Amino acid sequence: MDSFELIDLLCVVDACVSDRAAGHLISMSKAVEELRVLTGDFVSSDEAAANALSQVALERGCAVLFDEQPGADIVGEL
């Protein structure tokens, strides 16, 4: 999971998951930003952060939405 601590990833996934009719859903753009704020890591690529977060989210049974924000790296190619 690259340079991210598992506890940080778990905290972000738990904080960003939302209940929808289709189940637990997590927005990667929101989660990546939350991970950056939590860890202070503004150097790692969005793709690396999204990869680490999505792996944890999927293991926790969440649906993952690979959305993007203007100016962010494209994470939909994961």
Which of the two residues, 71 and 54, has the higher pLDDT score? 54
The tens digit of pLDDT for each residue in 28-65 reads 999 999 999 999 999 999 999 999 999 999 999 999 99
**Of residues 73, 62, 54, the one with CA closest to residue 17:** 62
Amino acid letter, 57? A
Residue 9 structure tokens:
């990833």
For residue 64 the two structure tokens come to: 């993952």
Higher pLDDT, 10 or 2: 10
pTM over cut 0.85: no
Q: Report the percent of the chain where pLDDT is more than 90.
A: 71
